[in-house]
Amino acid sequence: MKKWVKTGLTWGVTMFLMIVIVFPWFQGKEITVKSVVVGIILWGIGGILFGFTMRKRFEEKN
């Protein structure tokens, strides 16, 4: 797997855990299956876009 994909997915998983699981849990809100599924999709796409953007940024500087 390419490094930028790993970086992006790591970022996406971290954001997913914090936004969808940790913050609602600390606030006493319900964590639903719908919010988890939507979170996986959105943060997965967001992570890939983040990784791709970082790859392009660092390519331009080198």
Residue spans of the domains in the chain: they are 3-61
Query: Cα(62)–Cα(57) distance, rounded to whole angstroms?
Result: 9
Q: What is the largest CA-CA distance in the chain?
A: 46
Question: Are 27 and 55 a contacting pair, CB within 8 Å?
Answer: no
Tell me the pLDDT band of 59, cut-offs 50, 70 and 90: confident
What pLDDT score does 61 carry? 67
What pLDDT score does 60 carry? 72
How does pLDDT run across 8-47, given as a tens digit for each residue? Answer: 999 999 999 999 999 999 999 999 999 999 999 999 999 9
Q: Can you give the pTM of this predicted structure?
A: 0.85
